[in-house]
Structure formats: structure tokens, C-alpha cells
Structure 1
Amino acid sequence: MSTTTSSTRKSLLWLVAVGFFMQTLDATIINTALPAMAAGLGESPLRMQSVVVAYSLTMAMLIPASGWIADRFGTRRVFFAAIVLFVIGSVACALSHNVGQLVAARVLQGMGGAFLLPVGRLTLLRTVPRAEFLAAMSFVAIPGLIGPLLGPTLGGWLVQYASWHWIFLINVPVGLAGCIVTLRLMPDLRALLRRRFDGAGYAMLAFGMVSISLALDGVSSLGLREAGVLLLLVFGFASITAYWLHALRRPDPLFDPALFRIPTLSIGLLGNLFARLGSGCMPFLIPLLLQVSMGYTPLHAGLMMLPIALAGMAMKRVATPLITRFGYRRVLVVNTALVGITMASFGLATPEQPVAMRILQLLVFGAVNSLQFTAMNTVTLRDLDQDMASSGNSLLSMVQMLAMSLGVAASSVVLAGYGEVFGHASAPATLHAFQATFASMGLITVASALIFWHLPPHARSVQPEEPEVSGQR
């Protein structure tokens, strides 16, 4: 390997890592800013979930198409376009004057974010020697830990000492630098054999995901009546069923149905969906609780999220030994229940609760949640052969982003429902609504432990842990 080649490869690693950092930072920086954004846009902070849902749902929709688009148009062109879309979406977010404009801008931002990691990972897969690929992806995965660690605190600081617009505008200089480096360093790779894209299957799958997510989001933010919600749910599930039947007949579907014959993958995907449906709402609910019901400033609320990230990083060191000793099934059944119980414990939160107790609560949640994500991700992918690895990983990434979108939407529905029960007229009533919501979402997570009971009892971690690259730790 020449010095030039080695130097270029290192620069390429940094480019992909920075793109991943932009994506993960923007997924978390917004959470502490929601109350300030709501005040600036004349909206209730309890009705801002669409801003979060729009971003993650757009990413879930586009991830299945990212590989084919990169093969069709070239990695350099697609990665460059992804950064440009991300920057334009960021500027549009900062210029928004109402929630509708902000949601539309977040969709544009999500369109760019959806391609940053998959196309970057595909580029590394085709340029980095096989023996160095795991180390390369581990390096790229580091921003996936730093983004959630820095995002909430940076968002709170910018809101408190500047304005919420700056949580989006800080992406502009980073994005412009990324565009220049992309044109200089990113190789323009394409597939040697160009496969046909399953457009009909993609349309069915995307429509199903959007319909189900809009049905949940529509209850609390769009004001849909029962008939509208039911109609969206029926069309959504019918579309996903139609995709499944379509995939069984097509020789080159988006996701081969043969993937689901692998027990660890099918159980891992279902477990990811339902477990994240509960825990995925926590980065959205906790900053809201702290600011709306506890009187925290945005910066203080952001700092209170640090224990979750720090405990999560610390847990990475013991995750593999735990799984190796006790096996995936035992770890996931017990730990899923612990995640749900810890989430439900936030239902006991009150303004009078000692800060030390609250920090301990956040540390415990960060630790068990990190172990949950590590175990779920690795068990889902562990039995895939080389031919199915790329497709299985894309499917897992899509499920993760969809679950995060559905989790935020579902928790907003539950919060709105309890708001109707307790009323919004007083601060104690709002606090009671939050408490009941945490308890309910915790119970949903506990219930998902039943899915992991069906894992093979002998499955253990026998290989180095797969790097986390989904944007969620």
C-alpha cells in the first residue's frame, strides 16, 4: 500500500465519520430545543413530535433505496447530493415560521441524512481491504457515540444563549466543508452489474410505513378523527402485506423473504421494533418533562441527558462478556424487562425528587438501554452469511429508524390521551400526564421481552461485537 493511498483512505474515513456525526447530532440536538421552538412558533411543546417523527420516518423510507441509488448514480455524486440536501434542509429549518414549514424542512433534511451513512459505508466496503473493514467501521462508529453525548447539551446551550435557529445553522459550515472534501476525496464507485430496482415493492413498503406512522401522529398533532386513523392503519397494514406477497413472487425483491427463515434475524427484527417502540421515545420525553414540568432551563435539561450517554458508553465494555457468559436469550429477556421497569420508574419523578436520585435513574437507564441496543443489533446480524449481510443490515437500519418514529408518535398519543384525562389546566395535571405516559411506555417495553424468549438458548457472543452504526446507541 502506498503512502498516498493510505493517506487518502484515512481522509475518506474522516469524511464518512463526519457525515455520520452530522446525522446523529441532528437526531439528538433537537430534543432539548423543542419547548423553545414551540414558543417561537406559537405551538404547544406537547405537540411538537412531528418535528422528530418527520426526520426519522424519512430516513426509514429512503434507507432501502440508498444502495441502488448509489450504484446507479455513483457514490461521489450521491454523497455530495446528500450533504447538499442536508444543508439546504438545515437552512430551511432555521427559516421556518410555523410547524408545517419546519416539518417539511425536516423531511428535506432527513432525505440527505438517510444517504450519509449507507453510502459512506458502501464506499468503505469497496475501498478498504477486508481485513481492515471492521476497524474502519469501528472508527466511523465513534461519532455515533459522540453525537448523542454532545447533541442534547449543545442544543440546550444554543437555545439558552443564542436561539433555536442555531441548532440547524451550525450544520452549514460543516456541510460546506464536507462538500469540498467529497469532491476531492470520495471515489465515484458504481456496481459492475446494475440490478433492477424493485420500484413497485419499494412504493408499497414506503406507503405502509408512512401510513402507519401518520395514523399514530395524526391522533395528537393532525387532529384526525377515529375514522381517519382507522383508514390510514388499514391502508398501511394492507400495503405492507401486499409488499410481502409481492416479494415472495419477485426474483430480486428489496428484501429477500429468505432472510426471515433465519430465526435470530426474524426474532431480532421484531424485538428491535417493539422494544424500540417503547425506549425510542425517551430522548423525546425526558427533556420535555424536565423543562415543562420541572422548570429546567434548556441547558440544564441538556446536561441532565449526559448521564444516559456516559453510562451507555461505559456499558459497551461489559456487553460482550455478559452475552458470552449468559447468552443472548437470557440477557435480552432480563434486560428488556429492566429497560421497561427503569422507564416506568420515571413515572415517580416529581420536582421535589433529589437531583442525585434523578441522576442515578438516568445512569441506570443509559446502562441497560445501551446493553439492549448492543445485544439486539448483534443477535439480529450474527447468523447472516456474506451474501445476505448487506441486505440484512439495511433492513435492520430501516426497522430501527421506523421504530424510533413510531415510538415518538405513540408516546405523543399516550401523552395526549392522559392529558385529556388529567387536563392541561395546571402544572400538576401535566406532570401526572407525563408520569402515566412513562409508566405506559415502560409496560410496552416489558411486554416485548416475550419476543426474545423465542431466541435459541445456545446463541452467544463468540465474535467481536459489531460496531453500532444506526445512530442509536
Structure 2
Amino acid sequence: MKPTDPGAAAAPETSTPSPAAPRFLLWLVAVGFFMQTLDSTIVNTALPAMAASLHESPLRMQSVVVAYSLTMATLIPATGWLADRFGTQRIFLLAIVLFTLGSAACAASVSLTQLSAARVLQGIGGAMLLPVGRLAVLRHFPRERFLEAMSFVAIPGLVGPLIGPTLGGWLVEWLSWHWIFLINLPVGVLGALATLRFMPNLRSPQRSGFDFSGYLMLMVAMLAISLSLDGMGGLGFQHATVVVLLLLGLAALVMYWLYALRTPAPLFSPRLFETESFRVGLLGNLFTRIGSGAMPYMIPLQMQLNMGYSPAQAGMLMLPMALAGMGMKRVVTQVILHFGYRRTLIGNTVLLGAVIATFALMTREEPLWLRILQMALFGAVNSMQFTAMNTVTLRDLDAARASSGNSMLSMVQMLGMSLGVTCGAALLGAFTQWLGTQGAAHSLGAFRASFVAIGAITMASAGIFWQLVAADAVPANNEKAQP
């Protein structure tokens, strides 16, 4: 599919919204973004309680997280075409309905298999919430107001991860893990009614066909590679199955690349990678987010299984991480302007990996103030990394490639989060076996070795940003870092 530039449409088809619709449209999209990001993190502190309820090992619960993020990664490329074909109101309404039904199914699950399947349904809805909502804002607001509008929408998206782990911990401790999903039901009903009232049904008059062949190849590649990695951890696949899945995923990826080279309008054109900053930024995003994505999964497990923290306490200790990340947004632009993208990303990636490795030093006797400082440091460095990576990836794309590049970046971000959890679980499983602690599944040694390995992987990805050339290493004076 060759994504259509929404700004190029002279007269998009639309239903007529009420005079008050612009303000309520922003609130609607913001709440949708909040629901999506909240459910990306709210389950992390609840995994041990879920495992006890479902009679599973806590170290086998990664599929609850992976199913959601991987589903989002596989569906994001199709959201733009769906909105162009059926209209933003219809697809946004469908997204809310599926997300709400998936939440209800999660709360009703009595096994890990049912819960993972329900998270897939929830992820289908979540995949469409932000891209379709952002597209509606882009087409409804004039260009001079778009940045202001999207800044308003982005705030709840930052609040979701901020309160997700804490809220999840409190709900588990005072009610039950089922309420993590039940709280979405009234929000979903109100959101569906608001969508019918305030969301314009915008469609592009210049609708292009959808590259189903390319989409299928990419989807097979992402699923097969993710399942092969997960097979080494929670799924317990035989080595032969893991190898077959990994080869299938790599073959599908190569097939897509060869197919896209000879297709006039592929889903993602290989010409995107002719832009140096996009190529480096995208690959850096993927590999660095593997390390960053593993941490929100592993840290709450470590604190509850080995440090004696309750779910609420573990959730509260995640707050400094989120608060420091939000605070760092104010200084990122100045840091990048002073050091340039290349030096900022190389140095910050190495620092991020080192901070991840320090979590191997966590002990029960560690002072609370030191643990809070460690969490805040990780949140600040991680926030710097995300902002610099996102900005350098998109900064040099022209208008014709910006939409496709942004869609690919969104897909890679969710894929990186999914692979991070998968790799974290696989490392925990492998080190548990290698250290001979199968009977003590919550081995402190396995967690420590996994943190060191993930930190080393993250530091190694700094070599990707080394490839930024001088022209890409220095930002323009009027350039702003993106959230």
C-alpha cells in the first residue's frame, strides 16, 4: 500500500460534526490514546497475581503482554487504509467496541490460553485507536493548529504509562486482577457514544489499493520471529520448532524485500531506506527498544518474586521512572542541539545499557532512596533515548514519504516492545536452566544474569547510531524533538 498523504486531499469526505465537535474530538482521541497506553503497562505489576489465579508460573506469563503489543504491531500498517476505505468514525468506533469486548473477555478468562486470546482481541482494537484518532485530528484541524492539537492528545498518552503499574498494583491488592480490565468497560461504552456524536467520518477521496500480499509477508515475518523467540521461553518449543519458525520469519522478511523492490506501490517502499537518518533511526529503534521493552516486564517481577514487595508497592516504585521520563522531555531538545544526534544517541545508548545492567545489583537490603534514584535514572535516560530516536528517524523524510515512514516507525516501536518482553522471558528461562535452579523458578541469579545480558545487548546497539553521518548528526536550529 502506498499511504495517501492526508494533507494532500483537497476535499475529504466527511460527516458534518457539531460546532462543539473540535474540542470534544480532541478529548475523545486523547481518551482513546490513554486507554491504549494504560493497558500496555497496567498488567505488568499484576502478572504474579494472575499466575497464582490461573495456576501458572509467573515466568510463563509474558504471553499476556506479548499478545497485546504484537497484535498492535501487526495491525498498525493496515489502519490507514481501513480509515480511508470506511471512514474514521466507523473504524474508531470499531476499535473502541473491540477493545471493550476484549477487556470483558480478559476479565472472564479462566486460563492463560483464554487470557492471551482475549488480549489479542483487545490489541486489535488498541491498534486502531491512536492511528485513526490521529488521522481524524490531522484531517479535521488546519495545519497551523495540528501541532497544538496533537500536543493536547499526547498528554494522556504519557499519563497512561505513568499510572498504569501503580493502578494495576492497587487493583490487584485491594480487589482482584480482573478489575484491571473491568475498568475499561464503562470508559468504552461512553467512548462509543461519544464517537457517534463527535467523531467525523472522514475518508480520503484518493483511495489507493491495499498491498495484501506485502502485508501478509510482513505479518508472517513478525509473528514467526516473535514466536521463535518466545518458544525458547514460556512456550517451551522444541529446538527444531524454534529453528523452523526463525527461518520462516527471516525467509518471509527477505521475500517481502524482494517483492517490494519490484512492486509499484508496496506497503512500505524500500526507498524509505535511501534516507540515511531514517534507516539508522529505525534499526536503532528496533534493537534499543528490545532492552527498554523488557524492563517494565522484568522489574515488577523481580521486586515481587525476589524482593518481597506487594503488587501495590511494586507499582508505586515504578512511579519515579515515569515521572523522571516526563520531566526529561523539557531538556531533550537542548541536549540534542548542544551535542547533535550522533553523539547524543551513542552516549545515551551506552548509558541506557549500563543503567539496565545496574538492576542486577538490586538486593533486599538496598536503601529505598537508592532504589528510587535508580528507577528515576532509568526513566530519564530511557525518555531521552526514545525522543532522540523518534526525531532523528522522521526528520529528513519528505512529504511524500512521511506518512509511510511514520506508520513503519509505529509498527517497529510496538514490535520492539513485544520482542523485549519475549527476549526477557527467554533469558530468564535460559539462565534458570543454566544455573541449575529449575526447582527455584524465581532465582535471583537468573534475574541478575538477564539484566546484565539485556544491558549488554542495549549497549551494543549504540554501534547502529555510530553510522549517522555528519549531516544527520546536527539538528537544525529551529528543530524540535518529538515526544
Instruction: State the TM-score bracket (shorter-chain normalisation).
Output: over 0.9
* Aligned match of 2:9: none
Matched, 1:215 2:216: no
Q: Distance in 1 between matches of 2:69 and 2:107?
A: 18
Counterpart of 1:152 in 2: which secondary structure?
Answer: helix
* Aligned match of 1:15: 28
* Aligned match of 2:439: 425
Residue 421 of structure 1: how far off its partner (Å):
2.2
* Aligned match of 2:182: 169
Matched, 1:451 2:464: yes
* Aligned match of 1:203: 216
Counterpart of 1:465 in 2: which secondary structure?
Answer: coil
Question: 375, 378, 382: which one pairs with 1:365?
Answer: 378
Q: Distance in 1 between matches of 2:432 and 2:19?
A: 58
* Aligned match of 2:333: 320
Q: Distance in 2 between matches of 1:466 and 1:398?
A: 20
Question: 397, 403, 406: which one pairs with 1:390?
Answer: 403
Matched, 1:308 2:359: no
Question: 390, 400, 405: which one pairs with 1:377?
Answer: 390
Letter in 2 for 1:141: A
Q: Distance in 1 between matches of 2:421 and 2:371?
A: 22
Question: 51, 60, 78: which one pairs with 1:38?
Answer: 51
Residue 355 of structure 1: how far off its partner (Å):
1.3
Q: Distance in 1 between matches of 2:474 and 2:101?
A: 45
Matched, 1:442 2:440: no
Q: Distance in 1 between matches of 2:428 and 2:77?
A: 31
* Aligned match of 1:471: none
Counterpart of 2:426 in 1: which secondary structure?
Answer: helix
Q: Distance in 2 between matches of 1:15 and 1:467?
A: 22
Counterpart of 1:193 in 2: which secondary structure?
Answer: coil
Question: 413, 417, 428: which one pairs with 1:415?
Answer: 428
Question: 171, 174, 179: which one pairs with 1:158?
Answer: 171
Letter in 2 for 1:268: G
CA change 1:445–1:399 in 2 (3 A) is: same
Residue 246 of structure 1: how far off its partner (Å):
0.8
* Aligned match of 2:13: none
* Aligned match of 2:480: 465
Query: What pairs with 1:119-158 in structure 2 (closer than 5 Å)?
Result: 119-158=132-171
* Aligned match of 2:11: none
Q: Distance in 1 between matches of 2:366 and 2:452?
A: 17
Residue 216 of structure 1: how far off its partner (Å):
0.6
Residue 466 of structure 1: how far off its partner (Å):
5.1
Matched, 1:192 2:205: yes
How far does the alpha carbon of each residue in 1:51-110 deviate from its partner, in whole angstroms, 9 at most, with x for none? 100000000000000000111111111000000000000000000000000000000000
TM (norm. structure 2) is 0.94
Residue 425 of structure 1: how far off its partner (Å):
3.2
How far does the alpha carbon of each residue in 1:157-206 deviate from its partner, in whole angstroms, 9 at most, with x for none? 00000000000000000010000000011111111011111000000000
How far does the alpha carbon of each residue in 1:314-335 deviate from its partner, in whole angstroms, 9 at most, with x for none? 1100000000110000000000
CA change 1:151–1:464 in 2 (3 A) is: farther
Matched, 1:78 2:91: yes
Q: Distance in 2 between matches of 1:435 and 1:196?
A: 50
Conserved? CA contact 2:33–2:153, under 8 Å: yes
Q: Distance in 2 between matches of 1:338 and 1:301?
A: 24
Conserved? CA contact 2:273–2:279, under 8 Å: yes
* Aligned match of 1:102: 115
Name structure 1 gaps, 5 residues minimum: 469-473
Conserved? CA contact 2:42–2:180, under 8 Å: yes
Query: What pairs with 1:237-386 in structure 2 (closer than 5 Å)?
Result: 237-386=250-399
How far does the alpha carbon of each residue in 1:101-134 deviate from its partner, in whole angstroms, 9 at most, with x for none? 0000000000000000000011111110000111
Letter in 2 for 1:131: E
Q: Distance in 1 between matches of 2:345 and 2:57?
A: 37
226-235 or 347-356: bigger deviation: 347-356
Q: Distance in 2 between matches of 1:441 and 1:467?
A: 26
Conserved? CA contact 1:137–1:467, under 8 Å: no
Conserved? CA contact 1:31–1:152, under 8 Å: yes
Counterpart of 1:317 in 2: which secondary structure?
Answer: coil
Question: How many corresponding residue pairs?
Answer: 464
Q: Distance in 2 between matches of 1:33 and 1:113?
A: 20
Q: Distance in 2 between matches of 1:362 and 1:444?
A: 20
CA change 1:229–1:426 in 2 (3 A) is: closer
Q: Distance in 2 between matches of 1:128 and 1:467?
A: 19
